[in-house]
Structure 1
Amino acid sequence: MPAPAAPPAAAAVPVLPARWIATSAAVLAALATAAAVLAWNTQQRVKALETELVKRQQDAGAEAAEARVAARSAQDVAHESAAKLAVLEARVAETTIQRGQLEDLIQSLARSRDENVLADVENAIRVAMQQTAITGSAEPLVITLKQADERLARYKEPRLERVRRALAQDLDRTRSAGVADIALLAIRLDEAIRSVDELPLLASIDRRRMSAPRSAPASAAPPASAPSDAESGAPWSERWKGVAELVWQEVRALVRVSRIEQPEAMLVAPEQAWFLRENLKLRLLNARLSLLSRQFDTAQSDLRDALAALDRYFDPASRRVNSATELVRQVQAQARLATVPRPDATLAAIATASAGR
């Protein structure tokens, strides 16, 4: 019998060589060592970085403190600079103003003689216009225009002839305006007011005439001549005729008949005469105040009342009464509202001549 076949041989198990294992262990050990060294280096670097960061943070804090101090210093310097700048700007502004004034002065000094004369004439005319507006009288403007014409006449300049012609036109217009001279009218009213106390009343004149002693008629013979006539042997008819004429003249002197135009003027009592004169003074004073305040309608009303009182209660045959009445009538005739014309032609001519056209 044949011998049985031998079983297949089992698969061979690889066996790691010991050298390879040792090499692997060495590699692992090297890697571990390298990792440890790397970790240690990393830790050292981290510590160094932390130390550097702390140092830099401290340096940064110090620099920040220094920066704050420097900022404060810079702020103080900025405030000082702003204050100095404001002072400088004020000085610059003052210098600019002074420079402008100096330039104006230089320009005024550099102007020609004619320009100075025209400027002076214009200023004088404007001042005269203000005075005329305040006083209501054309006299200041008339005087100023005359003086300006006389002043320009001394300069023989062709371009000033136009100004002189305009002055002549405005002077004629101002003179023909007929503006009331308030100052003169006030003086006349003052004279009339002062003379009121001396004006004779109609009632007082008639009383003085009635109380005056009657003079003996020239035709009547004195008592001493009666015996002479009787002794001379004159006829009785002539003697009775002379006695009758004497008696008739005495009777006529007892009764006096006259025409009275204003009966109320004769009824003024002596104690009422003072009130009558004071009322007339008040009328004239009111008219004076109305003239000074340019209220011509009120002044005319008061002047009419004053004239009516003078004509009614005072003696028209008295020279003082006639003088006072004439003063009041002159004031009434001249107290009229009139506008003083503006010298526009002269001002326009001066402006044209100053511009050199």
Structure 2
Amino acid sequence: MTEPVSPPSPDPVPPAPAPVPVAAAAPLLPARWIATAAAVLAALATAAGVLAWNTQQRVKALETELVKRQQDAGAEAAEARVAARSAQDVARDAAAKLAVLEARVAESTIQRGQLEDLIQSLARSRDENVLADVENAIRVAMQQTAITGSAEPLVATLKQADERLARYKEPRLERVRRALAQDLDRARSVGGADLALLAIRLDEAIRTVDELPLLSAVDHRRSAARPAATAAPAPASGASSAEAAASGLPWGERWKLVAGTIWQEVRELVRVTRIEHPEAMLVAPEQTWFLRENLKLRLLNARLALLSRQFDTAQSDLRDALSALDRYFDPQSRRVAATLELVRQVQSQARVATVPRPDATLAAIATVAAGR
């Protein structure tokens, strides 16, 4: 601080100035600088405080703005998730609708193809329609022939096709008719098995099995009949020898007659019979029922195999049935011979018939159809 300077006196003669001490005037200049510096520092401190307060207010405003923006970003993210979910649902619905549309387009394409085929079939000429019908009928007949193993379906179809083409006076169809004639002759030359007739023959053979005489039973009856047949002439021979003895024949003749009678009796005691199958003579009476039933089952299995067109199985069963008939039944009986003949006929006719394919007719139809 500086001291106040007193005003000049009103005296006319100015007094002599008092001498200023050099030591008191020297610290006056630093005091002013200190005051100035203090004022500057105070101003700077005030400015720094104001600036700090302003900065703090700005930071608070920024924090408030940041929190607000963060809240807005969270709300927008939630809205975005909701929008994404709804977009997924819309995309799923669109995919489902697209699949339905594709199915409808495919259905429309199929219907269009069918419609085009129908239009093309309607636009064909009469000859082309006839050839197409004949070809389809022949192919169906080929399938039936392959299933049944008989040439009758193919023969009937080829005959109907020939009769149908004969009603059209078209030169271009003559080639097809010639091919039909060739295939018809080839199909007729194949001898197919008549399964219905073979089944009837097997039924007849099965029906007569119970009436067929067994070889063992026939031999027993013959053995019982021979003593009865030879016992009747014995008294006659005895009577004749007695009559011869009584008639006064010579002793030599009389001895020959007696020896012949004794030899005849000895021959009746011992009998030798040739047996082809010894096991046939060992069949017990209670086993004959099983033997006949087994033979019936063999014939029934052969019949079922024929109806199902398993000719190898049928041939095996028929061979077993023929072997049983030859081994256990009397071959001299007419019924056994008739049954054997029936079974042999079935065995000879139960064969797989290879029906030729009508390739000539199909090739002719393809050639005529391609030349339109």
| Structure 1 counterpart of 2:254 | 239
> What does residue range 194-209 of structure 1 map to in structure 2 within 5 Å?
194-209=207-222
> What does residue range 1-357 of structure 1 map to in structure 2 within 5 Å?
112=126, 118=131, 121-122=134-135, 124-150=137-163, 152-153=165-166, 157-176=170-189, 179-212=192-225, 213-215=228-230, 221-222=236-237, 225=240, 228-350=243-365, 352-353=367-368, 357=372
- Maintained 8 Å contact 2:213/2:330: yes
- Maintained 8 Å contact 1:136/1:182: no
- 1:323 aligned partner, one-letter code: A
CA apart distance, 1:333: 3.6
Q: Using the alignment, how far apart are the partners of 2:135 and 2:172 within structure 1?
A: 16
Quickly say closer, same or farther: Cα 1:273–1:219, change in 2 above 3 A.
closer
- Maintained 8 Å contact 1:280/1:309: yes
- 2:311 aligned partner, one-letter code: F
Quickly say closer, same or farther: Cα 1:115–1:294, change in 2 above 3 A.
same
| Structure 2 counterpart of 1:61 | none
| Structure 1 counterpart of 2:68 | none
CA apart distance, 1:292: 2.3
What's the CA shift string for 1:214-247, capped at 9, x where partnerless? 2468799555545654453322332332232222
CA apart distance, 1:278: 0.7
- Maintained 8 Å contact 1:135/1:182: no
Runs of 5+ unmatched residues, structure 1: 1-92
What's the CA shift string for 1:10-43, capped at 9, x where partnerless? xxxxxxxxxxxxxxxxxxxxxxxxxxxxxxxxxx
Q: Using the alignment, how far apart are the partners of 2:333 and 2:134 within structure 1?
A: 52
Task: Report the TM-score when normalising by structure 1.
Answer: 0.59
- 2:332 aligned partner, one-letter code: A
Q: Using the alignment, how far apart are the partners of 1:220 and 1:150 within structure 2?
A: 84
What's the CA shift string for 1:238-284, capped at 9, x where partnerless? 23322322222222122211121211011011221111111011112
CA apart distance, 1:207: 1.0
Secondary structure, aligned partner of 2:229: coil
- Maintained 8 Å contact 1:200/1:321: yes
What's the CA shift string for 1:167-226, capped at 9, x where partnerless? 223224434555544333333322322222222221111111111122468799555545
Q: Using the alignment, how far apart are the partners of 1:148 and 1:245 within structure 2?
A: 85
- Maintained 8 Å contact 2:206/2:299: yes
CA apart distance, 1:115: 6.3
- 1:276 aligned partner, one-letter code: L
- Maintained 8 Å contact 1:137/1:182: no
Runs of 5+ unmatched residues, structure 2: 1-107
Quickly say closer, same or farther: Cα 1:317–1:296, change in 2 above 3 A.
same
Secondary structure, aligned partner of 1:321: helix
| Structure 1 counterpart of 2:62 | none
Quickly say closer, same or farther: Cα 1:147–1:217, change in 2 above 3 A.
farther
Quickly say closer, same or farther: Cα 1:197–1:144, change in 2 above 3 A.
farther
Q: Using the alignment, how far apart are the partners of 1:155 and 1:253 within structure 2?
A: 87
Q: Using the alignment, how far apart are the partners of 2:213 and 2:190 within structure 1?
A: 39
CA apart distance, 1:316: 2.5
- Maintained 8 Å contact 1:220/1:242: no
* Identity of matched residues, %: 77
Quickly say closer, same or farther: Cα 1:263–1:231, change in 2 above 3 A.
closer
Q: Using the alignment, how far apart are the partners of 1:199 and 1:308 within structure 2?
A: 15
Q: Using the alignment, how far apart are the partners of 1:297 and 1:225 within structure 2?
A: 66
- Maintained 8 Å contact 1:138/1:181: no
CA apart distance, 1:317: 2.7
